[in-house]
Amino acid sequence: MSGASPSSVRIRSAYEHLAAVLGDDAVLGPGSDLSAYEDPYASAGAADFRCSGAVLPRSVEEVQAVLAVANQHGIPLWTVSTGRNLGYGGAAPRVNGAIVLDMQRMNRILEVDEEHGYALVEPGVRFVDLYGYLREHRLKLWMSAPSLGWGSVLGNALERGIGYTPYGDHAAQICGLEVVLATGDVVRTGMGALPGANTWQMYKGGYGPSLDGLFLQSNFGIVTKMGLWLMPQPAGLMSCVARFQRESDLEAAIDVLASLRRREIIQSNAQIGNVVREVAHRHPRSRWYDGPDAMPDEVIEKMRRDLGIGWWWMLRFGLYGDEELLDARFRIVQRAFSSIPGAEITGDKHLASGPDGLHACEVEGPSRRLAGVPGFFALSALKFRGDDCGHLDFSPIVAPSGREAMRVYELVKARAREHGIDYLAGFTASERHLTHVFPILYEKHDAEQTSHAAALLDTLIRELGEQGIGEYRAHLAFMDLIGDQYSFNKHALRRLNETLKDALDPNGILSPGKQGIWPAASRRQRAGTR
Ligand code: ADP
The pLDDT of residue 2 is above 50: no
Q: Identify the residue whose C-alpha is closest to ligand 1 atom 9.
A: 155
pLDDT value at residue 52? 94
**How would you classify the pairing of strands 99-102 and 174-180?**
unpaired
166 Cβ below 6 A of ligand 1: no
151 Cβ below 6 A of ligand 1: yes
The 3-state secondary structure of 394-462, one letter per residue: ECEEECCCHHHHHHHHHHHHHHHHHCCCCCCCEEEECCCCEEEEEEEEEECCCHHHHHHHHHHHHHHHH
Contact 14, 524 (CB under 8 A): no
84 Cβ below 6 A of ligand 1: yes
Sequence-distant (6+) residues with CB within 8 A of 330 are 238, 240, 319, 347
Which residue in 1, 69, 80, 8 sits closest to 37, CA to CA? Answer: 80
List pLDDT tens digits, range 198-241. 999 999 999 999 999 999 999 999 999 999 999 999 999 999 99
CA distance 166 to 148: 18
Query: Which of 60, 78, 85, 121 is the pocket-test mutation for ligand 1 (most atoms within 8 Å of CB)?
Result: 85
Percent above pLDDT 70 for the chain: 98
Query: In the beta sheet, which residues pair with residue 126?
Result: 152
pLDDT value at residue 45? 55
DSSP tally for the chain: helices H, then strands E: 13, 19
Contact 360, 163 (CB under 8 A): no
The pLDDT of residue 1 is above 50: no
pLDDT value at residue 366? 85
The pLDDT of residue 10 is above 90: no
pLDDT value at residue 4? 63
Which residue in 51, 145, 129, 144 sits closest to 90, CA to CA? Answer: 51
Residue 234, helix vs strand vs coil:
coil
Sequence-distant (6+) residues with CB within 8 A of 448 are none
List pLDDT tens digits, range 140-158. 999 999 988 889 999 999 9
Query: If pLDDT is split at 50, 70 and 90, which confidence band does 8 have?
Result: confident
- Long-range own/partner contacts, residues 25-32 (CB < 8 A, 24 or more apart): 26/55, 26/56, 26/57, 26/58, 26/62, 26/105, 27/53, 27/54, 27/55, 27/56, 28/53, 28/54, 28/55, 28/56, 29/53
237 Cβ below 6 A of ligand 1: no
pLDDT value at residue 199? 98
Lowest mean pLDDT among 4-18, 251-265, 457-471: 4-18
Which residue in 498, 476, 481, 458 sits closest to 80, CA to CA? Answer: 476
156 Cβ below 6 A of ligand 1: yes
Helices (H), 118-207: 127-136, 153-158
223 Cβ below 6 A of ligand 1: yes
| Gap from CA of 240 to ligand 1 centroid (Å) | 32
Asked if 41 is an active-site residue, the reply is no
Which residue in 506, 509, 413 sits closest to 464, CA to CA? Answer: 413
The pLDDT of residue 416 is above 50: yes
pLDDT value at residue 148? 85
Q: Closest ligand 1 atom to the C-alpha of 89? A: 14
The pLDDT of residue 13 is above 60: yes
Query: Which of 66, 81, 129, 154 is the pocket-test mutation for ligand 1 (most atoms within 8 Å of CB)?
Result: 81
Asked if 409 is an active-site residue, the reply is no
Higher pLDDT, 10 or 120: 120
The pLDDT of residue 187 is above 60: yes
Burial of 484 (0-12, 13-18, 19+ CB in 10 A): middle
List pLDDT tens digits, range 267-279. 999 999 999 998 8
226 Cβ below 6 A of ligand 1: no
Averaged confidence pLDDT in the chain: 94
Catalytic-role residue among 15, 37, 41, 88: 88
Asked if 289 is an active-site residue, the reply is no
Which residue in 383, 382, 412, 410 sits closest to 396, CA to CA? Answer: 412
pLDDT value at residue 44? 52
The pLDDT of residue 485 is above 80: yes
Mean pLDDT value across residues 282-299: 90
CA distance 178 to 184: 12
CA 345 to each of CA 326, 429, 463, 502, 503: distance values in angstroms, whole numbers, following the listed order: 14, 17, 35, 54, 54
Lowest mean pLDDT among 44-53, 88-97, 453-462, 510-519: 44-53
Which residue in 306, 377, 318, 313 sits closest to 346, CA to CA? Answer: 318
The pLDDT of residue 114 is above 70: yes
